[in-house]
């Protein structure tokens, strides 16, 4: 499709282009990977395509479950047409099992189950290294409105339920994940991506990490892990 217009934004893992339609953007998923605020850089061969395809599959599933997303359609192996969003500067993280920064912050061994899902907010700011914030900070800095914050939490928990249920027959445990929301013509939509870059997936039986932690922590088998997640999930999604 010859709809790639002006490059609007280039991030660590994606490029966003205008299209001939003012309401639609084209997202191109890259193989580039960074961690620790870009301090660690690398390439994960095939990642762009896997993350585009997997995100498309999961966005479609979420839409069926009544969660509005920016997804429109795939227009190439790593190219996704989306509704133009003004992304709100809040990252919404949901956790089911302690890992990563939560383990460090609270001194919980990785793998400790959490009694209830935990929703956290982070301020999207590269200069500040995405500090954790709460609803009062969001209001005080006017990062989003009070109704939007309620929606962040409600939708994040619903998405957690849908994804957890979906991953079960794939033999994957959803440890935690990060979401971004944005506004399209005044409507709040789920944006960004849902992929091994933005989720932690562990093998149910072996506990093996099948996500970007393999890259962050130099565990090897990065490409294989991404491919395995895609293969397992695409098999169980009808």
What are the Cα distances from residue 227, in Å, to 54, 58, 86, 177?
10, 15, 31, 18
Site for ligand ASP in 35-74 (CB under 6 A): 35-38
Vertex 213: Cα angle to 210 and 218 (nearest 5): 110
Letters for 196-225 (x = contact with ligand TMP by CB under 6 A, - = none) are: --xxx-------------------------
Q: Which of 74, 164, 156 is nearest to 121 (CA)?
A: 156
47 lies in the site for ligand TMP, by CB under 6 A: no
User: Which of ligand ASP, ligand TMP, none binds 34 (CB below 5-8 Å, type-dependent)?
Assistant: ligand ASP
Give whichever of 84 and 179 is closer to ligand ASP, judged by the CB atom: 179
Q: What's the rounded Cα separation, in Å, for the pair 117 and 56?
A: 25
Pairing, β 71-76 against β 86-97: unpaired
Q: What's the rounded Cα separation, in Å, for the pair 158 and 117?
A: 11
Name the region of 218 (left: φ>0; alpha: ψ -120 to 50; beta: rest): left
Smallest gap from residue 170 Cβ to ligand TMP (A) = 17
Site for ligand TMP in 100-139 (CB under 6 A): 100-102
# of chain residues touching ligand TMP (CB under 6 A): 11
Q: What's the rounded Cα separation, in Å, for the pair 229 and 221?
A: 12
What are the Cα distances from residue 125, in Å, to 16, 58, 133, 136?
18, 26, 12, 17
Which of the ranges 17-25, 34-42, 71-79, 164-172 carries the binding residues for ligand ASP, by CB under 6 A? 34-42
Q: CB nearest ligand ASP: which residue? A: 34
User: Which of ligand TMP, ligand ASP, none binds 100 (CB below 5-8 Å, type-dependent)?
Assistant: ligand TMP
124 lies in the site for ligand ASP, by CB under 6 A: no
93 lies in the site for ligand TMP, by CB under 6 A: yes
Give whichever of 58 and 199 is closer to ligand TMP, judged by the CB atom: 199
Where do contacts with ligand ASP occur on this chain (CB under 6 A)?
A: 12, 34-38, 212, 216
Where do contacts with ligand TMP occur on this chain (CB under 6 A)?
A: 93, 99-102, 176-178, 198-200
């Amino acid at each position: 499709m010859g709809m790639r217009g002006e490059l609007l934004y280039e991030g660590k893992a994606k490029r966003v282009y205008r299209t001939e339609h003012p309401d639609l953007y084209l997202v191109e998923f890259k193989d580039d990977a960074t961690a620790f605020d870009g301090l660690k850089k690398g390439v994960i061969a095939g990642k762009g395509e896997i993350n585009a395809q997997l995100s498309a599959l999961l966005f479609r599933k979420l839409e069926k479950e009544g969660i509005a997303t920016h997804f429109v359609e795939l227009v190439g192996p790593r190219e996704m047409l989306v509704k133009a969003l003004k992304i709100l500067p809040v990252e919404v993280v949901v956790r089911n099992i302690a890992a990563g920064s939560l383990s460090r912050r609270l001194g919980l061994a990785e793998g400790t189950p959490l009694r209830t899902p935990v929703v956290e907010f982070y301020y999207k700011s590269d200069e500040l290294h995405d500090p954790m914030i709460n609803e009062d900070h969001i209001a005080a800095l006017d990062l989003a409105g009070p109704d939007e914050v309620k929606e962040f939490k409600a939708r994040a928990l619903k998405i957690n339920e849908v994804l957890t249920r979906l991953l079960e027959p794939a033999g994957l445990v959803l440890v935690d994940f990060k979401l971004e929301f944005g506004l399209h013509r005044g409507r709040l939509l789920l944006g960004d991506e849902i992929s091994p870059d933005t989720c932690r997936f562990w093998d149910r039986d072996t506990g093996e990490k099948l996500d970007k932690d393999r890259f962050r922590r130099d565990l090897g088998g990065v490409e294989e892990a991404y491919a395995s997640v895609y293969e397992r999930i695409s098999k169980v999604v009808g």
